[in-house]
Structure 1
Amino acid sequence: MLQLVNEFLTFLQVEKGLSKNTLDSYGRDLKKYIEFLKSQKILSFSETNRTIIISYFLQLQKKGHASSTISRNLASIRSFYQFLVRERYLDKDPTINLESPKLEKRLPKVLSIKEVDLLLEQPDIKKPLGLRDKAMLELLYATGIRVTELITLDITDVELDMGYIKCLGKGSKERIVPIGSEAVKFLEQYILTERKKLIKKREEKALFVNHHGYRLTRQGFWKIIKRYAKRAKINKQITPHTLRHSFATHLLENGADLRSVQELLGHADISTTQIYTHITKKRLREVYSKTHPRA
């Protein structure tokens, strides 16, 4: 199957003259599709059909991929099957009349700046776990990192003097993320005082640990942020990524460019970042109405 994909990519390069980035995109999409087929014990494209292809797109949807990503995958797979039929590797194209699964366009839930302030004020920094929670929440809002990235941070990933953290994102890609003065302040307090009291073993690498002294889990963080949201009387639906979404939205609302936000969030594809522009459009319309002389 990989050999056929490589033939297809060569065809696109030689006959269509597509750019390296476009070819890489086709290659990634088709290799992921092959991985799915193999997971279904399918070892030849001749064994595939419309139902199997739809199942693949439903799996992408379930994993939370953006509708734009799913549409791009469909375009890649459709072009590939057309090639297979044209080159007589297949008799029929199973993607004919196949539409991308109808996806509800769900915009991320975000907090206002006032709500973020309320949430960040909830932890009791006089207590070890309270200071830990304050440092975590401040760090999340300061960097926009994923919750998984937060809980996998090691103490050696933090550079307080330089004001950044080293973060391991999706695909094991490392990126450097700057952190603001407030997050630095509470991180420093937590590391120098309460973390030492919480850890059970001196060789513990985890930056954030639970009350047992071991690395905090995603579920543990989920309970923490829900508790503080309830205490702050925030009625919006809170998810582990609420502060990440709020971080991106507030940056764009205050003039940050989309490419910079993409880099900070660690998005491989800018189309993933573009969802936040939908949230800020309403705000932009309000600003335009107030500031343009002929609005």
Structure 2
Amino acid sequence: MNNYIRIRKYISDYPETTVNGIYHKCFLSLLADTGARISEIMYIEKANVNFNNCEILLTQTKTKEDRIVYFTETSKPILKKMIQVKNDSKYLLYNIDKNRVSNYDDIRYILKQVKRQLNIKKLHPHMFRHTVATYLIESQMDLPSLMILLGHKNMETTKRYLHVSKKHVKKGYSDNMNKL
């Protein structure tokens, strides 16, 4: 969770002075906020971003079923800036330099920069999904809600994402056992 907090700070401070900066910050913000798969993030349609409710309708999902994911108020400004970047694509994440929809090479490049600048040894897109799931569970989100958020068909798949920290387990134990 420590690296996740460092990465969120990095995202917050990421420069937005160029179109690439907006693109990179938006990509990272979506990874850090939504818990969505990278393949789902790459195909977010501009029309499916609801700023009033801080939610995104994902229409290209692994399960082939539409679902809603959420983003934080903090990410709202960068998503708005990304939508305002001029291009003819219906997709939110469009690589202006390469004149194409985003792809895995783009996120690998962005994460390589993050790793280097924050001196993190291991970082890949799916780690964000795991971290979001763990954070939500540690913050008392119930498993059925998390299962829906992550787009899983069964609870066993969701349970694989749970990497509850020892500190959280100990606190839960202490909080409850000390009531005896």
The interval holding the TM-score normalised by the smaller chain is: 0.7 to 0.9
- 1:289 Cα deviation (Å)? 5.2
**Which residues of 2 match residues 97-246 of structure 1 at below 5 A?**
112-121=3-12, 123-167=14-58, 168-192=60-84, 195-196=85-86, 199=87, 202=88, 204-210=89-95, 211-235=97-121, 237-246=122-131
Structure 1 residue 142: Cα displacement: 1.4
CA distance in 1 between counterparts of 2:170 and 2:7 reads 22
The one-letter amino acid of 2:152's match is H
Q: Which amino acid aligns with 2:148?
A: E
- Percentage of matched positions with identical amino acids: 24
- Aligned equivalent of 1:266, options 130, 137, 151: 151
* Cα distance, 1:116 vs structure 2: 3.0
Query: Residue 153 and residue 188 in structure 1: after superposition, are their counterparts in 2 closer, same or farther (change >3 A)?
Result: same
Q: Secondary structure at the match of 2:67?
A: strand
1:126-165 CA-to-partner distances (Å, cap 9, x unmatched) read 2211111111211222111110001111212212233211
Q: Secondary structure at the match of 1:184?
A: helix
Quote the Cα distance in structure 2 between the aligned partners of 1:228 and 1:293. 42
**C-alpha distance in structure 2 between counterparts of 1:288 and 1:155, whole Å:** 41
Which structure 2 residue ranges, 5 or more long, are not aligned? none
Q: Which of 1 and 2 has greater Rg? A: 1
Deviation, 1:189, is 2.0
State the one-letter code of the partner of 2:56: I
The aligned amino acid for 1:212 is K
By how many angstroms is 1:222 displaced? 1.6
- In structure 1, the gaps of 5 or more residues are 1-109
After TM superposition, give the deviation of residue 111 of structure 1 in Å. Answer: 5.7
Aligned equivalent of 2:167:
283
Distance in structure 1 (CA, Å) of the matches to 2:9 and 2:116: 11
Q: 1:189 to 1:225 in 2, by over 3 A?
A: same
- What residue in structure 2 maps to residue 104 of structure 1? none
User: How many pairs were matched up?
Assistant: 177
Supply the AA of the counterpart residue of 1:247.
Answer: V
Conserved 8 A contact 1:262-1:273: yes
Q: What is the TM-score when the length of structure 1 is the normalising length?
A: 0.55
Could you tell me whether the CA contact under 8 Å between 1:153 and 1:208 is conserved in 2?
yes
- Return the letter of the residue paired with 2:133: A
Q: Secondary structure at the match of 1:288?
A: helix
- CA distance in 2 between counterparts of 1:261 and 1:161 reads 22
Supply the RMSD in Å over aligned alpha carbons: 2.2
CA distance, structure 2, for counterparts of residue 121 and residue 182 of structure 1: 8
